[in-house]
Amino acid sequence: MSFRDREEIRQIFEEIYPANVRSIDLMSYAEMYTEDALWMPPDASDCIGIHDIVQGFAEECAHQSTDPTFNAEEIEITGDFGYVIGSSAATIYPKDGSPAHVVKYRALWLMKKEGNSWKINRQIWNKKL
């Protein structure tokens, strides 16, 4: 595992992904995923492929804005595949005027290297108490 690969995965997890969630930039959000990615959010249906993932993300953003912070706790790489396990805390701002609240998550992302870039291939997260 090269330091560069590990650092790129950490940067996607801790910096790029949260920035794209905050900005609700659908194009930038889409660019983080492989074509056949699987998105497995808690309390919602799975989404397969970039189009479905972006649609699921857009639906989520229609009801709330989110300000997440992420912390990568474990990153492993084997060839063109890797994974990151981490945690996040997200402040959720409902668009219906309800009070903001914080939700904590655990996440497991399987990463795949395409060309010279790491992308999210499988993403699952669940709520923690």
Per-residue pLDDT of 38-74, as tens digits, reads 999 998 999 999 999 999 999 999 999 999 999 999 9
What percent helix, strand, coil does the chain show, rounded to 5? 30, 50, 20
Which secondary structure element, helix H or strand E, spans residue 66, and what is its range?
A: strand 64-78
- Between the alpha carbon of residue 66 and those of residues 3, 60, 102, 104, 118, the distances in Å are 30, 9, 9, 12, 24
Per-residue pLDDT of 91-125, as tens digits, reads 999 999 999 999 999 999 999 999 999 999 999 99
Mean pLDDT for 8-32 is 97
Q: The pTM is what?
A: 0.94
CATH number of the domain that 84 lies in?
A: 3.10.450.50
1 band by pLDDT with thresholds 50, 70 and 90: low
Q: In whole angstroms, what is the distance from residue 122 CA to residue 129 CA?
A: 23
Looking at the structure of the chain, the number of domains it has is 1
How confident is the model at residue 21, as a pLDDT?
Answer: 97
Q: Which domain holds residue 67?
A: 3-128
